[in-house]
A and B are shown apart, each in its own frame.
Chain A
């Protein structure tokens, strides 16, 4: 298995632009997590899905952030409009319903200028 695949690996965008981050979880995993990591705040959970259904999105900073999981093999995290304070590394991870560890993708480093 190729593991959790995220794209793009790096994204530089101007403030106000829409940003879409993509994630393909490990086949057979039914839990998917979006995390954001910064030096100041560490690894923060933004939202997680079980069986494609959002379970807890209380970590989503504000209405500018949205996430979807249209099927078991794909999820997106969208920021619209983006702001400089959104600059961070965004990780996607997947697990089998908490029975296994969470496997992380390589992350997307987002820079908003």
Chain B
């Protein structure tokens, strides 16, 4: 059975801190790993990773995938209160199959 694990499940930091969120997975026919941010409503897409070692970056957020060790990290530098959200990791398998989500990391950034 496909499985996605995230850690930590919950994290509280202060503005300006740097955080690293972890995602490990076990899936057959891996195709992609995705990161989403969920605030009050629907998850919104952050990154899609398909190749090992290639960092994806968007502003203060960056992510990288290690397909050998089966994990990914999401880094957020200089955190702001607006970064408070649940960060979801999902893994997509071969075409025609679904996206399996991890439990999420609830990040709280205090002023």
Contact = CB atoms under 8 A, between A and B. Distances in A.
A99 B99 CA distance: 11
B98 interface: yes
Nearest to B29: A98
Contacts, number: 60
Interface string B98-111: 11111110000000
B75 interface: no
Contact of B104 (A35, A42, A45, A56): A42
B98 A48 contact: yes
Nearest to A48: B98
Contacts of B101: 35, 42-43, 45
B88 A43 contact: yes
Contacts of B104: 42-43
Given A91-B42, A102-B90, A42 B96 contact: no
Interface stretch (A20-28, A74-82, A103-111): A103-111
A106 B95 contact: no
Contact of A98 (B41, B94, B103): B94
A98 B42 contact: no
Contact of B34 (A101, A105, A106): A101
A97 interface: yes
Contact of B98 (A42, A56, A103): A56
B93 interface: yes
B99 A95 contact: yes
A102 B99 CA distance: 8
Interface of A: 31, 33, 35, 42-43, 45, 48, 50, 55-56, 91, 93, 95, 97-107
20 contacts: A33-B99, A43-B88, A43-B101, A43-B104, A50-B96, A56-B97, A91-B42, A95-B92, A98-B31, A98-B96, A98-B97, A101-B32, A101-B34, A101-B48, A102-B34, A102-B45, A102-B92, A102-B99, A103-B45, A106-B41
